[in-house]
Amino acid sequence: MTPPPASTTPARFIDDYLLYLLARASHVVSTEFHEQLRRRGISVPVWRVLASLIGSTGETVTGLAEVCLLQQPTMTKLLDRMVRDGLVKRSQDTRDRRVVRVALTPRGETVASELAEVAKHHEAEVLARHPEAEALAIKSLLRAIMARNGKPRRGR
């Protein structure tokens, strides 16, 4: 009696569980790119903030924390460090002076767009591993999941 190796047993609950498949797919695709970040001395949270601010006129700390999947106090500390490193700046919202907005500095923009190029190159590699129809379906299906399952986002 030779049972198949435990880690490939088809009866495993998680192998057919949507939330696991989502977390796993996200993990396998991200791991490679996070390794590229590590080699450049950039942490994943710093990259997330930089990436969130590309093409943005400024985000609130709450909005950034939400987008980057970080707790707000963690985000505040991270932003303090990124301000010291000259990557981002805080400023008052032009319409509501009580609101603080975070945006890239010129140096932050340079670093962010260099990394975004690496990211886009990696993304193209990932998608090239799939047949064309599958590659085309991936993003739209992920957008559909976000649209149908997320809480409605309030303006931030």
| C-beta of 77 vs 120, nearer to a second copy | 120
Minimum distance between the CB of residue 87 and a second copy, rounded to whole angstroms? 15
* Look-up of token digits 């931030």: 156
Minimum distance between the CB of residue 18 and a second copy, rounded to whole angstroms? 5
Query: Cα(103)–Cα(112) distance, rounded to whole angstroms?
Result: 12
| C-beta of 31 vs 84, nearer to a second copy | 31
Listed in sequence order, the residues at least 6 apart from 35 whose beta carbon sits closer than 8 Å to its beta carbon are: none
Per CB under 8 A, residues contacting a second copy are 3, 5-7, 9, 11-14, 16-30, 32-33, 51-52, 54-59, 63, 67, 69, 101, 116, 119-120, 123, 126-127, 129-130, 134, 137-139, 141-146, 148-151, 153, 155-156
In three-state secondary structure terms, 132 is helix
Minimum distance between the CB of residue 110 and a second copy, rounded to whole angstroms? 14
* Integer Rg of the chain from CA: 19
Query: Cα(10)–Cα(74) distance, rounded to whole angstroms?
Result: 39
